[in-house]
Structure 1
Amino acid sequence: MPRPDIRRDQQAPDGSAARRTQPPPAGTHGVDDQPGPDRATRHRRGYPAVLGLFAVAGAPALWTATVVFLRLSGVGPGPWADRTGTLLSILATLVAALWTLLLWQRPGPSGHTPGPWRGAGLLALTVAAIMDTAGLLATLAGVTGPLARAVLLTWLSVTLCRHYGLTLTVWHPRVRNRSAAAAAVMTSAFWAFFLYWGTLVLKAGLMRLPGPAPRTDPPADPAVVQLVARMIWSATMEELVVTAAVVVLLTAARRPLWECLVAVALMRTLPHLYYGPSAVALIPMGIGCAYLYHRYRRVLPLSLAHLAFNLLTLLPTHLVLQAQYMTLLLLCAAAGTTQILSATSKPEKPGHPGKNTTRL
């Protein structure tokens, strides 16, 4: 005998109306159905978490940019400001490591506790970043610090989002249509690269306005390997931490889209005050990158576009031609990697939109 369907107007044995289980509505990414802190907690802690991330990721750069801007205006502080910037960078590294460790001590949504090897890795990254910042490294100086901070900030962002029941999935996206996922990656990378070049043109026009002359970027001529390490740190900080993690956290806190875009744009623009009035050109780019992530939920194409643009514009003049070949090779490798990851990723099950994830 076939089993009768339970309809909405029928009653359950306890007298309450029986309901069918419905999947989350499209576009919500299952935010309220994820484990971890409840929705009210995420609403209340959206901005504190975002401002905390910006403090550990961008406060040293913001301090340095402010000092440089004041010096360009003729009212800059003395050498003590440089020492203060170094201390701020060390303090931010310690806070990021301690914050990550404290989040590990609390039970996550899956109840999984990180093993001792993660603690050893966290300690190694922290020590390497602090020693490089303090000038205590004889070899790979200026390289170890930025790379260690990039990994540390990525680790903190992933752990913080996981603590709030959100997921930053960078390497194994779950997609329904693999070809559509690859197209999304390519589209996001193209428009991000276009935004960066548009920012360069707009900044050149704003430099004609009266005001303090902007500092050339970079201010000195460091070794190429040090410059590339800074580029990797910048791409990680601006795209994964200040853009992806901020959009995820504020979206989970039910903040409107325009608020997310403005917050990301301001956080990306303030550490570039050394550009002078032309720093305003970074606001449209910040809004555009935040929208691209909100639309496609992909971090890797934004980071690759950022890195490719920096390779073409910030390397020394005698390396520009090599940078063009390097950038072309990087984009081809990214396209091939994206196709492989899209082909090997597990498809999403129908009717389960998945979590609020950061994808490739």
Structure 2
Amino acid sequence: MKKSLWLICLTLFIVIAGCSGKTEEPTKTAEQSGEAAQQQEAPKELTKVKVVLDWTPNTNHTGLYVARDKGFFKEQGLDVEIVQPGEGGADMMVAAGNAEFGVSYQENITLGRTHNVPIVSLAAIIQHNTSGFASPVDKNIKSPKDFEGKTYGGWGSPNEEAMLQSLMETEKADVKKVNNVSIGSADYFTATKSNIDFAWIYYAWTGVEAELRKEPMNMIYLKDYSSKLDYYTPVLATSEKMIAEKPDLVRAFVKGAAEGYEFAIQKPDEAADILIKAEPDLNADLVKASQKWLSPRYQDDAAAWGVQKRDVWVNYADWMTEHKLLTGTFDPDKAFTNDFLPKQ
């Protein structure tokens, strides 16, 4: 701002001095005129903001990288830094004001809101839940009933057993007949080659990787057995404070992100190249294949990318309450908003 003001004052001084003098100002060359115009049009200072990922970079995040590297955020006046989460995770960083925006999940926000965590979902990155229980085909697990007598490898969260129970109840199977163990930091491929029969995965990454490895799997999607489990995962989120104090900045960020994801929907191969260039340690073949699988699922059957439905938030909260995973009062209207999405 100071530089711009100084340039304006300098320009006015030159004009006034030229008008009051007795001698005519020398004619400027085209090159000199161009330089003067550039000086008068000082570059707009960008607002620095930080968006923290939920996990290591993957194709859930492609739209953010596209928006940054194709200049969509810059067009909105933003200089966006993409960072990976610290020990507290993305939600805590956003709630504490250590990052303006973050990648979260509906399940996290639903639980957090009942514990006074002031975080709000701004957009659904993927319209439908692409997660489920996967197993190598030789385990012969083709439906939830086949979980009986098998070993599930998870992380020991109450949500996991509740989801197993929900799916198994649809086929009158008994969740108590599942051997539920923790796999710690082991991935699906490592775990299922040892003592694990099936695990919870997101198909867009692990499932596609299995295809590339030529290790066929059976996939049981959560949403196919319960509409209440077709929740938004992942989502873009911010804090209540950001919405209250800097709504224009929030709107600018969401608009840039929307352009990034729309680009990835229309041009998955080019979008994958942008992610690969930004994160060269990623497996390029996996990124390409994952992007091809995921791009049409960002928006899917929604009217536009990012749109969230109140019923989806209510249904999942009801499911959590039914399984004694949610205590306290949950207000869906404070948990999400579509107000910052670009107008269609």
- Is the strand fraction higher in 1 or 2? 2
| Both proteins in one fold, TM over 0.5 | no
Larger-Rg structure: 2
| Normalised TM-score (structure 1) | 0.25
| Normalised TM-score (structure 2) | 0.26
